[in-house]
A and B are shown apart, each in its own frame.
Chain A
Amino acid sequence: KAGVTQTPRYLIKTRGQQVTLSCSPISGHRSVSWYQQTPGQGLQFLFEYFSETQRNKGNFPGRFSGRQFSNSRSEMNVSTLELGDSALYLCASSSSLAGGSQETQYFGPGTRLLVL
């Protein structure tokens, strides 16, 4: 079974631009979560989607948004990029068979975003 895939793997943008990152979960998984990892703040939860609905959101400004499609693929968007948005963005999927959170999360390789 293929793992979680993320595209693109690397990205360079300038301040003020916007960016869209994509995540394809493991086949059959319905829950997708997004995380931001920076040296200063560590790994922080952005949001989680299940069956196209956002169930939880972390403490990030409204510039960070996401969505999930009917095939469980997910995208996250960051508008009006700031230097501090430079980070490794990770997505994870889980089967969430019963709609719960009691299952293993599997992570993709991440997208490294550099904002200049």
Chain B
Amino acid sequence: GIQVEQSPPDLILQEGANSTLRCNFSDSVNNLQWFHQNPWGQLINLFYIPSGTKQNGRLSATTVATERYSLLYISSSQTTDSGVYFCAAVASGTYKYIFGTGTRLKVLA
């Protein structure tokens, strides 16, 4: 089945810094999403992005499907951005989301 890998596993930033999180996937995908998991466990949708580029405020994401990777950019980070960021992909022809192991982000004031 499809493998989803995320890097880096951990990231510590000073407030105001920018960061790039990466997600590699091993097969063609129908669906790719980025999520932020808050301290209570809720998975919050950030982007649905099987290909192309999207922006939402300080966050943006790019997926290059032909090269099988996706990037999540966080600019001017804030302490509220802390948490775990997951990408999840659905391989073509299937209906199951495979999650990466996540990037744990801590933003220091």
Residues of A within 8 A of B (CB): 31, 33, 35, 37, 42-45, 48, 50, 55-56, 58, 88, 90, 92, 100-107, 109-110, 112
A56 contacts B95, C-beta separation under 8 Å: yes
* Smallest CB-CB A-B distances: 10 pairs: A43-B99, A107-B43, A104-B48, A56-B96, A56-B95, A45-B96, A101-B90, A55-B95, A48-B95, A101-B95
CA distance A35 to B45 in the complex (A): 16
Residues of B within 8 A of A (CB): 30-31, 33, 35, 40-43, 45, 48, 50, 86, 88, 90, 94-99, 101-102
Cβ distance A93 to chain B, nearest Cβ, rounded Å: 12
A112 contacts B99, C-beta separation under 8 Å: no
A42-B101, A101-B30, A102-B30 as given contacts; A88 in contact with B94, CB under 8 Å: no
A101-B30, A109-B41 as given contacts; A42 in contact with B99, CB under 8 Å: yes
Which of B31, B40, B45 contacts A102 (CB under 8 A)? B31
6 intermolecular pairs with C-beta atoms under 8 Å apart: A43-B102, A48-B96, A56-B94, A90-B41, A107-B35, A110-B41
B42 contacts A106, C-beta separation under 8 Å: no
CA distance A48 to B94 in the complex (A): 10
Cβ distance A102 to chain B, nearest Cβ, rounded Å: 5
Measured between beta carbons, the chain B residues less than 8 angstroms from A43 are: 86, 88, 99, 102
CA distance A90 to B90 in the complex (A): 17
Cβ distance B80 to chain A, nearest Cβ, rounded Å: 19
Measured between beta carbons, the chain A residues less than 8 angstroms from B102 are: 42-43
B41 contacts A112, C-beta separation under 8 Å: yes
Cβ distance B2 to chain A, nearest Cβ, rounded Å: 11
CA distance A92 to B43 in the complex (A): 10
Look across to chain B and name the residue whose beta carbon is closest to the beta carbon of A110: B41
A100 contacts B30, C-beta separation under 8 Å: yes
Look across to chain A and name the residue whose beta carbon is closest to the beta carbon of B50: A102
CA distance A85 to B102 in the complex (A): 21
CA distance A90 to B97 in the complex (A): 12
Which of B30, B41, B96, B101 contacts A33 (CB under 8 A)? B96
